[in-house]
Amino acid sequence: MLDWNVVVSAKERGFTMAKDILSAYGRTRRTHYHNVLVMKVPSPTDFLAQLEERLRLNPDLLAYVSRIAPATYAFDFSAPPDFESQVRAVVPTWAVQLAGKRFHVRMHRRGLKGLVVSPVEERFIDEVLLAALTDTGTPGTIGFEDADAIVDVETVDHRAGLALWTRADLERYPFLRPE
């Protein structure tokens, strides 16, 4: 199983250049999915800052990638119950950031067709977050129009990565594109 904390979707004919450029930031690996590579970086937060600086000086990377999805939490799982157990341990920690906010979950699944069903897991994560917000007395709402934040879930086979992106993050880092 590949160990990663970043998933990259390359544009057509951009895979090799994207891999070459991104290898300066961490270990990059090809997946068996078309135009998808994964990376292991020391710190997803530092990686974002480094990419922001690079793109400010030279935006060429955007010609080769459709999106770059760093994960603030990444874990291996064996089956949906294991995935859901690990999600249940992570996402309630975001209740403080989502207090009183509009948010939604977006899952990008690669592999495990029929075993992991994106809409089902998105709703599950919505419910876990809404319950955590209610428990803290700071309810939030699910909203797709003009959301304050998006929870991005990436899977590549039996590994998942989760991240919470605020509206400000999405404006600052145009390569995230969790939609």
Beta carbons within 8 Å of 43's beta carbon, 6+ residues apart: none
In a domain, 174, yes or no: no
Q: Are strands 27-30 and 149-156 parallel, antiparallel or unpaired?
A: unpaired
In a domain, 177, yes or no: no
Would you state the pLDDT for residue 154?
Answer: 97
Would you state the pLDDT for residue 1?
Answer: 58
Query: What rounded mean pLDDT belongs to the chain?
Result: 95
**One domain for residues 52 and 81:** no
Would you state the pLDDT for residue 114?
Answer: 87
Domain end position, chosen among 18, 36, 70: 70
**One domain for residues 45 and 92:** no
Helix/strand/coil for 119: helix
Would you state the pLDDT for residue 106?
Answer: 97
Q: Are 7 and 38 spatial neighbours (Cβ–Cβ below 8 Å)?
A: yes
- CATH code: domain of residue 157: 3.30.2300.10
| The pLDDT of residue 13 is above 80 | yes
Rounded to 10 degrees, what is the CA torsion of 131, 135, 137, 143? Answer: -10
**One domain for residues 89 and 56:** no
| The pLDDT of residue 66 is above 70 | yes
pLDDT digits (tens, 9 = 90+) for 82-125: 999 999 999 999 999 999 999 999 999 999 998 899 999 999 99
Would you state the pLDDT for residue 174?
Answer: 87
pLDDT digits (tens, 9 = 90+) for 116-172: 999 999 999 999 999 999 999 999 999 999 999 999 999 999 999 999 999 999 999
**For the residues 37-58, what does the mean pLDDT come to?**
95
Position 2 confidence tier, pLDDT thresholds 50, 70, 90: confident
**One domain for residues 22 and 88:** no
Query: Could you write out the three-class secondary structure of 123-173?
Result: HHHHHHHHHHHHHCCCCCEECCCCCCEEEEEEEECCEEEEEEEEHHHHHHC
Q: Using a cut of 0.85, tell me whether the model's pTM lies above it.
A: yes
Structural domain boundaries enclosing 40: 6-70
| The pLDDT of residue 179 is above 90 | no
Share of the chain above pLDDT 70, in %: 99
